[in-house]
Amino acid sequence: MVVYLLDLRCCAPPVEAMPPVTTFAPPPRISTGIAELDTILGGGLTSHRAYLLEGTPGSGKTTIALQFLLEGVKRRERGLYITLSETAAELTEVARSHNWDLDGIELFELVNEQGLDPDSEQSILEPSEVELGETIQGVMACVDRLRPARVVFDSLSEMRLLAQNSLRYRRQILALKQFFSTRNCTVLMLDDRSSDPGDLQLHSIAHGVITLEQSAQEYGAERRRLRVVKMRGVKYRGGFHDFVIETGGVSVFPRLIAAEHHTDFSESLVTTGLERLDQMLGGGLSVGTNALLNGPSGVGKTSTAVRCAVSAIERGDKAAYYLFDEGKTTMLARSRALGLDLEPHLESGALQVFQIDPAELSPGEFASRVRAAVETEGVKFIVIDSLNAFLQAMPGEKYLMLQMHEMLSYLNQQGVITVLILGQHGIVGEIRSEVDLSYLSDTIVLFRYFEAQGSMLKAISVAKSRTTAHEASIREFRLASGGIIIGEPLKDFEGVMSGLPTYSGATPLLSSETAVGAG
């Protein structure tokens, strides 16, 4: 056997002869004018690139485009809005509705009243060939004259009609993209998706694609959401994100991701303001956990949550109460009847009460409000009353679970105590819920009605606690003019939680007092 040894050193070039490694600095990122959208995009748009902003009419393309140009004006960058679909007067009116001034932005109309002049018509060449060529030449001449840093092209649907076939259309868009890149322009190309929805030609051409969607609900305001379909060379936040169009522009609500937010806090037990409830919970509520108050209507869930919120305020924390079911005035009046006057806490700012209309508020916006309360206002105690109404704002139970999982994980990591109220159907006997959130809850407190001595009474029990050794007892619960009263364990009753108990002993019931209605 012959073995050949090859000395690779003779084949390798000298070290000093190796060509140097060339590194290219990435192009700078620029803001879209919407801070939350920049967050979704991982820091904004890469400059000197062409982007596609697509959506059906009314989805918010023009508003976002104007915010993009106005951000350039703030940074002393020249902006150009090229319009084939809307007139300059219409764009000015849109800006006026948002209290914007378009000074510093050039509005260039490619179609004007001259197109109605019969003398401008010709019949020797195909009209589309002449019009498309004139359109492209007009765009190029305007850009070369103004030298803008930011350009909006509105819209590509008119270009598609002029091109008449997909091959010619694609070539023209590629030519425009190349032209803009050589002029160092960052371009937003708007498209109303009036062509075949399955046509993805523009997606392959554009450096990035943002899709806007608008859906009408059977009841309530329409819902808008956006999704970053593509963004070359950028790690962006995928999926759908809710947004709204308000006076002042578009507000985007990035989808909450709990893993991105964590704050160090000391784990401890705090009082609910009710000594016997603390005893049942194994010492109180744990900081950085959530508690689910579960029971039928009128049994006392809201009153218990208010008592816990007042206790949080008394120890120096800020509290936020989100009302989905009833009015703020009703809630304040019922709390006052229990000896809990909330007005001083509202005036001092220690308590914030928000009356939420689930038909008008998207889940993403609600999550954004909760996050702002925690990070901006320093809220440490939150009540959501109730999840039944919040469910109506969601497109389905599956999405409610995912939304609540992220929100509760976020609040727990922020060291916030969260109280969730879930109403159940039925009074006695079979009790059922619209949704099961038990696996998401750190603590579960059950409220029930039961019949005894010819009266309809109430009972309370702690069914679960992940952080403490809780009581397994069932106690009588009563709302009186002096506040909330919790009695001794009902040891001589069986079947209390079913609503139809049997009595086999001498356990005393709470003395009869004037009851106060509760939610």
pLDDT digits (tens, 9 = 90+) for 289-342: 999 999 998 899 999 999 999 999 999 999 999 998 888 999 999 999 999 999
Q: What is the mean pLDDT of residues 224-231?
A: 96
What DSSP designation does 165 have?
A: S
**Span 446-490, pLDDT tens digits:** 999 988 877 888 999 999 999 999 999 999 999 988 889 999 998
Going by pLDDT thresholds of 50, 70 and 90, the confidence category of residue 445 is very high
At residue 196 the predicted structure's pLDDT band, cuts being 50, 70 and 90, is low
The pLDDT assigned to 1 comes to 43
Which two structure tokens, joined as six digits, stand for 343?
């007005």
Lowest average pLDDT, out of 163-172, 223-232, 248-257, 350-359, goes to 163-172
Q: What does the block give as tokens for 318?
A: 């800020």
Tokens of 4: 């050949």
Is 514's pLDDT higher than 70? no
Task: Report which of 366, 361, 323, 369 is spatially closest to residue 342, judged by C-alpha positions.
Answer: 323
**Other Cβ atoms within 10 Å of 506 Cβ, number:** 7
Measured distance CA(253)–CA(494) in Å, rounded: 50
Q: What is the mean pLDDT of residues 100-115?
A: 79
Confidence grade of residue 388 (pLDDT, cut at 50, 70, 90) = confident
Distance between CA atoms of residues 32 and 40, nearest Å: 11
Q: Summarize pLDDT for 13-44 with one digit per residue, the tens.
A: 454 555 665 555 677 899 999 999 999 999 99
Q: What is the mean pLDDT of residues 371-375?
A: 96
Percent of the chain with pLDDT over 70: 84
Phi-psi category of residue 228: left, alpha or beta, with phi > 0 → left and psi -120 to 50 → alpha = beta
Average pLDDT estimate for 380-399: 78
CATH entry 1.10.1370.30 includes domain 260-503:
no
In this prediction, residue 124 carries a pLDDT of: 35
Which of 372 and 404 is assigned the larger pLDDT?
A: 372
Rounded to a whole number of angstroms, the distance between the first and last alpha carbons of the chain is 94
Which segments of the chain belong to CATH 3.40.50.300?
29-112+127-255, 260-503
CA distance 319 to 404: 19
Mean pLDDT, the chain, integer: 85
Residue 436 vs residue 516, higher pLDDT: 436
Tell me the CATH architecture of domain 29-112+127-255.
3-Layer(aba) Sandwich (3.40)
pLDDT score recorded for residue 21: 56
The encoded tokens of residue 49 equal 């690139």
Rounded to whole angstroms, how far apart are CA atoms 488 and 473? 9
pLDDT of residue 481: 83
